[in-house]
């Protein structure tokens, strides 16, 4: 009980987030010692903040309490490629610690205003080195993340144009829909960065989906209900066997 109280005091946002996300945090830190909890720092970050840059020394571990972030790769001819949006509780910088890398392997940026938990590298590494349960949990989460990225990356190789956009929209529905509806900013450039398609192709695809009733638009927003999500999913499933 004392540890639970310490966690709540260190992470006041736990009382403001949904029950599922709160449970993820509680499970993640269920074996965390008090000395580690006492090193926690919570920071509010504005939308568009690049808080990790690929190649910088690893000095802090980050977990997202509230909000959404994305990973960006600039290594291919300097072209920006946004390859994943994160919503689940995950220790950014943890992978580098586990596989003994001293530099961050990707660039991370806030997509929305975010509440971020920061843990100094030395404390996180000591926890991993002395707690086999925590180490196994971190390895499992890292493996799940890498497997998901590998599958999605391979799937995108076989999709072109509107089909690729449909997959991204369907995945975002699965990850971020609330009460059966996804409402997201229809930023064409952001979707272009994420899919690797040009803005013109994104615009044509959005127009096609809207005209066919597969999405709804309102101002700068795209909205997708469950029926529309199932149609987008079917469109992709006709090319990719199984779930995606």
CA nearest 90: which of 71, 72, 103?
Answer: 71
Q: How many domains does the chain have?
A: 2
120/150 same-domain check: yes
Q: Say how far apart CA 199 and CA 147 lie, in whole Å.
A: 29
Residues 113 and 21 in one domain: yes
Q: What is the mean pLDDT of the chain?
A: 85
- Claim to verify: residue 184 and residue 138 sit in the same structural domain: no
pLDDT digits (tens, 9 = 90+) for 156-204: 666 778 888 898 888 888 877 888 898 888 888 888 877 778 899 999 9
Beta bridge partners of 110: 69
Please check whether residue 170 lies inside any domain of the structure: yes
Which of these, 176, 198, 197, lies nearest to 185 by C-alpha position? 176
Query: Is 164 a member of any domain?
Result: yes
List pLDDT tens digits, range 218-229.
888 899 999 999
Q: Where among 156, 176, 193 does a domain terminate?
A: 156
Write out the residue range of the structural domain in which residue 21 sits.
2-156
DSSP H helices, the chain, are: 2-10, 19-28, 34-37, 94-98, 121-130, 132-157, 161-176, 188-195, 199-211, 226-237
Using a 10 angstrom Cβ sphere, with 0-12 exposed, 13-18 middle and 19 or more buried, the burial of residue 195 is: buried
Q: Could you tell me if residue 244 is inside a domain? A: no
CATH of the domain at 147: 2.60.120.10
What is the arithmetic mean of pLDDT over 34-56? 94
Assess whether pLDDT exceeds 50 at residue 24.
Answer: yes
> Looking at per-residue confidence, does 109 or 83 come out higher?
109
pLDDT at site 83: 46
Of the candidates 156, 190, 224, which is a domain's last residue? 156
The CATH number linked to 225 is 1.10.10.10
Summarize pLDDT for 50-62 with one digit per residue, the tens. 999 999 999 999 9
Let me know whether 27 and 138 are in one domain. yes
């Amino acid at each position: 009980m004392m540890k639970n109280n310490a966690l709540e005091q260190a992470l006041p946002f736990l009382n403001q987030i949904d029950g599922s996300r709160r449970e993820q945090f509680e499970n993640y830190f269920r074996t965390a010692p008090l000395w580690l909890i006492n090193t926690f720092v919570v920071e509010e970050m504005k939308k568009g903040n690049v808080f990790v840059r690929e190649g910088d020394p690893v000095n802090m571990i980050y977990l997202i309490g509230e909000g959404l972030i994305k990973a960006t790769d600039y290594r291919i001819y300097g072209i920006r490629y946004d390859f994943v949006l994160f919503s689940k509780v995950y220790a950014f910088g943890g992978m580098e610690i586990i596989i003994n890398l001293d530099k961050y392997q990707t660039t991370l940026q806030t997509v929305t205003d975010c509440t971020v938990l920061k843990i100094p590298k030395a404390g996180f590494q000591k926890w991993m080195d002395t707690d086999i349960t925590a180490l196994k949990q971190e390895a499992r989460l890292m493996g799940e993340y890498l497997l998901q990225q590998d599958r999605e990356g391979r799937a995108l190789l076989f999709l072109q144009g509107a089909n690729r956009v449909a997959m991204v929209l369907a995945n975002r529905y699965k990850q971020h829909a609330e009460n059966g509806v996804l409402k997201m900013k229809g930023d064409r450039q952001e979707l272009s960065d994420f899919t690797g398609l040009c803005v013109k192709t994104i615009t044509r695809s959005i127009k096609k989906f809207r005209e066919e009733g597969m999405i709804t638009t309102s101002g700068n927003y795209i909205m997708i209900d469950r029926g529309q999500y199932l149609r987008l999913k079917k469109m992709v499933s006709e090319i990719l066997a199984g779930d995606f």
